[in-house]
Amino acid sequence: GKWQGVVVDLFIIFGATGDLARNKLLPAILAYTRSCKGYIPLTVLGVGRRDLGDNGFRDFLTRHFRERGLLNNICRRFLREFVYYVGLGSGGPNDYRGLSKRVMEIEQGLGLSGNRVIYLALPPKTIPDVVEELVAAGVSRGSGWTRIVLEKPFGYDLSSSETLDALLHNYFKEDQIYRIDHYLGKETVQNLLFFRFSNVVFESLWNRDWIDNIQITVSEEIGVGSRAAYYDEIGALRDMVQNHLIQILTLVAMEMPTTFDAPSVRYEKVKVLRSIQPILPEDVVFGQYRGYTDEPGIPKDSKCETYSALKLEISNLRWQGVPFFLRTGKRLKRRVTRVDVVFRCTPRALFKPFDACSLRSNLLTITLQPDEGFDLFFDVKMPGQPIRLETQRLSFRYEEAFGELPDPYGTLIGDILAGDQTLFVSADEVRDSWRLFTPILEARPKVFPYEPGSNGPIEADELLSRFGRSWAGS
């Protein structure tokens, strides 16, 4: 029929009714298939503990997509023709054998390619058992290629991530393992490299001679929401800093790769990670928003951090002596992800006191979301007398230039199917990132309270004052 000769791969999603699958992954698959203009290159098999049949799962997704305003004709057709479900019950070997059988039936029945993506949208602690079981039952041995996708955090700390890695490498080669950090799927995050390495004007200033400090902020308005069970064991350092913020940092700080491909890009990122000096516990601030312990499912005595700020240094020729300040938190004043590159003051203040080096000028703010764009702040003379300087800006906004940006998960799904690992995290990156953060987790920094809707705990401001700096834009 219509699909003959077309390569359709099977996308097996573990945790198919969970938060991540429902809210991010499945909508992205839907958007991705839509962007393929009617040609749908994948069939979804949801796997979960709930006892739903194919139709039960389709109804579940129909309700969810309707609530989100995504339910159009393409979506209905997608759900009807390309979505299946297997309930895993208690998850014993028999259940997994049943799954394996179903996978083969679907592949044969629909004439699929035999290529399988196994996407584990699961809490980190459940992953080792699931991997063992699915491998034992043969789910990972199709007639085509198999790729396995893991969500961050990869492990829980250095030793658990090494154990997980060893387990995966028992059964999969590194080029089959896709560690997702959805920040790398964001156009604006990828653009950090393109912007740096295709414009000499900024790259020539991109070092310790001209940059005073760099700040990376990922602030969220949302709280823990319905994710208590996941979040309270994880906290902000594992949920955001160890992966998303560190990925942004490596792209901001890395050297130009020899070529633009996965091995070269990952190699340069690892070099940055290995050049970061051990982070001192006193340079880390943890916070928890007031009311967190009243959220549904959160223990009353939880010490989980919902905010984290820290200072680190990269010891190499380019960055020696330049502090990097990172911060992220939930229930803050507004949702914004940005990189502030704070340039040095002029060596001599000719127009004193008018050009008292302020934080507002000599600043490049790269906004990764929302309102994606660049703002370069600089001082100009106001017309007339007496002499006065005023900060002005040059601005660029993605939306004005390009309209809506593609969904990061959609981009990454396309890369998984195409076998391109450039935007995925390597085993080395994961290990070196945990090597940095595990001592902090073990030191258990004090957790300071902060008001919901604020900029986080005051102690994070004091952290910067200690280094004679302050947060840009505050």
Q: Which residues bind ligand BG6 (CB under 6 A)?
A: 220, 239, 337
Q: How far is the CB of 90 from ligand BG6 (least distance, A)?
A: 27
Q: How far is the CB of 49 from ligand BG6 (least distance, A)?
A: 21
The 373-381 sheet, strands edge to edge: 389-397, 373-381, 363-369, 336-343, 211-219, 323-329, 307-313, 284-289, 447-450
Nearest CA to 146 among 185, 180, 184, 103?
103
Long-range contacts of 191-195 (CB under 8 A, 24+ apart): 192/248, 192/251, 192/252, 192/339, 192/366, 193/251, 193/254, 193/265, 195/366, 195/374
DSSP string, 439-457: HHHHH---EEEE-TTBSS-
Q: Which is nearer to ligand BG6, 20 or 447 (CB)?
A: 20
Q: How far is the CB of 220 from ligand BG6 (least distance, A)?
A: 6
Nearest CA to 147 among 122, 177, 124?
177
Q: Which is nearer to ligand BG6, 220 or 305 (CB)?
A: 220
Cis peptide before 445 (omega within 30 of 0): no
- Name the active-site residue from 64, 169, 182, 244: 244
The backbone torsions φ and ψ at residue 408, rounded to the nearest 5 degrees and listed phi first, read -60, -40
Q: How far is the CB of 231 from ligand BG6 (least distance, A)?
A: 7
Contacts of 263 (CB under 8 A, 6+ apart): none
Nearest CA to 343 among 332, 357, 327, 353?
357
Residue with tokens 């203040």: 349
Q: How far is the CB of 472 from ligand BG6 (least distance, A)?
A: 19
Q: Which is nearer to ligand BG6, 9 or 220 (CB)?
A: 220
Which helix (H) or strand (E) is 438 found in, with range?
helix 427-443
Q: How many Cβ atoms from other residues are within 10 Å of residue 175's Cβ?
A: 11
Q: Which is nearer to ligand BG6, 220 or 415 (CB)?
A: 220
**Annotation marks residue 244 as catalytic:** yes
What angle, rounded to 10 degrees, do the helices at 408-418 and 26-35 form? 70
Is residue 368 a contact partner of residue 398, using CB atoms and an 8 Å limit?
no
Q: Which is nearer to ligand BG6, 95 or 372 (CB)?
A: 372
Strands 307-313 and 284-289: antiparallel
The Cα–Cα gap between 339 and 252 comes to 9
The Cα–Cα gap between 330 and 470 comes to 21
The Cα–Cα gap between 433 and 443 comes to 16
Q: Which is nearer to ligand BG6, 175 or 221 (CB)?
A: 221
Q: How many Cβ atoms from other residues are within 10 Å of residue 187's Cβ?
A: 17
Q: Which is nearer to ligand BG6, 62 or 337 (CB)?
A: 337
Q: How far is the CB of 473 from ligand BG6 (least distance, A)?
A: 18
Q: Which is nearer to ligand BG6, 454 or 470 (CB)?
A: 454
DSSP string, 112-166: --S-EEEEE-S-GGGHHHHHHHHHHTTTT--SS-EEEEEESS-SSSHHHHHHHHH
Q: How far is the CB of 21 from ligand BG6 (least distance, A)?
A: 13
Catalytic residues: 244
